[in-house]
Structure 1
């Protein structure tokens, strides 16, 4: 079932949100990591419009450039390669951070037998800061409002992607127990933050 994603009062490209329930947002911390999902769009395709370029989260010592991602031929949101677990991404069909609405940033919890950029995302608490740089030279600061961990089959689609009347940020990764059969974690961690 395909569900619509929203952006600034408009529906944007449909994506299979159950899959975003980040299929491939990490792999087992074992010698043989689960393979990254194949995608029909280049995950690192250049994006020449206004975009976020870097994310920094001091509390968890996370710092990454941001590549832009869209959707795969199957309708799932593309994610960075599991071979590069320290790379974070911005879902470019969501608002640019600083615009009205929920800007979506994605990152692995682990991959390639090492921690990922959002390995400690679950440690964020209300009041923690997240900094995002943009291609226009703006440096924005967001403050965490709340953090949740939910089973992927209960992913709060509307709360994450629904329209908002202010500039917000959503950081998403995997969490919970790793399911060897599915090569994926059972939960998602979602952090909600507001522009200062």
Structure 2
């Protein structure tokens, strides 16, 4: 399900071999240097789910518009809710595998999203990355309707500290794999932002992958 830009050159990921038509997300191919520079913008100590001193103060923190530029404390995301396209999905943490690429969510689960857990969490200051399949070997998947989102639409992330981070869509864009703007998509942000990423375009049987990626740009409100 994904692009193959020069700065993000995905090789076939073992975890994706069960995906319908073998597609992959551009995110899987982001090189470690890009991840380190652009996605490590927030604090990355012990998660507040296992750090009571941080959790106690964070539990009452909400996505206040007046505080949105500062962001919320770090907290593991639990569920992604996008009412417009009927998404109500749990999260799984995505990590970098032995291949040096980010592992995708399990393809067998059609209602699951992943976040890059070594980057910022959704709601923290910086750029959080949330990825999901558009389809699997059995059916359409969690981000099948992602292309319906428009500027002004809202979605939210329920977090382990008891808070809910609400985001508004700034833009939705589709990029060809061979011209994917990694620096723009994954760049660290001065405010809390999120990228929702999935596959798009036609399926190229010759290469066993989709021709484009869909990226939703959003910020905390």
Question: If the TM-score is normalised by the length of the shorter chain, which range does it land in?
Answer: 0.7 to 0.9
Measure how far apart 1:182 and its partner are: 2.5
5+ residue gaps, structure 1: 1-15, 40-47
* Runs of 5+ unmatched residues, structure 2: 1-6, 29-45, 48-74
State the 4+ residue runs in structure 1 displaced beyond 6 angstroms.
Answer: none
- 1:34 Cα offset (Å): 3.5
Q: Is the 8 A contact 1:25 1:108 kept in 2?
A: no
Q: 1:19 aligns with which of 10, 13, 19?
A: 10
Answering whether residue 142 of structure 2 is matched by residue 154 of structure 1, we say: no
For each residue in 1:64-121, what CA deviation from the matched residue of structure 2 results, as whole angstroms up to 9, or x when unmatched? 0001011122222111122212211111122111111110000000002301100011
Higher normalized strand content (fraction of residues): 1
Root-mean-square deviation (CA), in Å? 2.6
- Structure 1: how far apart are the matches of 2:177 and 2:186? 15
How many angstroms apart in 2 are the aligned matches of 1:177 and 1:105?
A: 22
Superposed, 1:26-105 pairs within 5 Å as 27-28=19-20, 34=22, 49=47, 50-105=75-130
Q: Does the 8 Å contact 1:26/1:108 carry over to 2?
A: no
Distance 1:113 1:183, change over 3 A: farther
TM-score, with length taken from structure 2: 0.69
- Greater relative CO (CA pairs within 8 A, separation 6+): 2
Whose helix proportion is higher, 1 or 2? 2
Q: Which residue, 127, 134, 137 being the options, matches 2:162? A: 137
Q: TM-score, normalised by structure 1?
A: 0.77
2-structure distance, mates of 1:151, 1:26: 23
Deviations 1:2-22 (A, max 9, x none): xxxxxxxxxxxxxx73329x9
